[in-house]
């Protein structure tokens, strides 16, 4: 009886990671002097990648929100490259259209209130913090000046007004 109990505890210990990886991005205004700020957290879960993002000091309204292919925010956010699109598919809304009909970085929009703040929470099956074809590690989260209307090829969301590199930490 005691031997089974000890084996069970050892099995649980060996199968449970000693740490969890979390992706974090600190959003800053893309233009010099911009007051835009924010944070984004990316956490793996059994249901997919959990994304929690908060922005502050942005203009009120609807703004496109995407993951871009490179974790660089220089040159007004242009150094982040295009939308993260490892499967070379058309633009869409990943939570609705899936990987077959949307870029892996097509997160849709965030609503910014009159006080300049906005929050979005998403769970995206198939994306991961690290490892695999759909990892967000080392990429950038980008806030756009207009709403993403899901038009082709990139949603007509306009310029990049906020950007943050996604860095991995071990919790």
Token pair belonging to 125: 């099956």
Residue 17 has pLDDT above 50, yes or no: no
Token pair belonging to 166: 């996604």
Among the residue ranges 13-17, 19-23, 84-88, the one predicted with the least confidence is 13-17
Residue 6 has pLDDT above 50, yes or no: no
Q: What is the pLDDT of residue 91?
A: 94
Q: What percent of the chain has pLDDT over 70?
A: 88
User: What structural domains does the chain harbor?
Assistant: 19-170 (2.60.40.200)
**For 53-96, how does the pLDDT look when each residue is reduced to its tens digit (9 = 90+)?**
999 999 999 999 999 999 999 999 999 999 999 999 999 999 99
Q: What is the pLDDT of residue 171?
A: 63
Residue 22 has pLDDT above 90, yes or no: yes
29-68 b/e (C-beta count within 10 Å ≥ 16 → b): bbeeeeebbbebbbbbeeebbbbebbbbebeeebbbbbbb
CA-based nearest residue to 109, from 118, 117, 101, 98: 118
For residue 22, is the peptide bond before it cis, meaning its omega torsion is within 30 degrees of 0? Answer: no
């Amino acid at each position: 009886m005691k031997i089974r109990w000890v084996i069970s505890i050892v099995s649980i210990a060996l199968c449970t990671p000693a740490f969890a990886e979390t992706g974090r991005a600190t959003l800053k205004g893309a233009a010099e002097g911009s007051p835009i700020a924010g944070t984004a957290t990316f956490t793996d879960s059994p249901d997919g990648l959990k994304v929690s993002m908060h922005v502050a000091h942005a203009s009120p309204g609807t703004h496109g929100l995407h993951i871009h292919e490179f974790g660089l925010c220089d040159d007004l956010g242009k150094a982040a490259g295009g939308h993260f699109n490892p499967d070379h598919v058309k633009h869409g809304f990943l939570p609705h259209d899936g990987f077959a009909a949307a870029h892996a970085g097509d997160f849709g929009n965030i609503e910014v209130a009159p006080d300049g703040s906005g929050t979005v929470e998403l769970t995206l099956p198939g994306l991961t913090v690290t490892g695999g074809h759909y990892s967000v590690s080392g990429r950038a989260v980008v806030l756009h000046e207009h709403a993403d209307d899901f038009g082709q090829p990139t949603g007509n969301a306009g310029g990049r007004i906020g950007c943050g590199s996604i860095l991995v930490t071990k919790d």
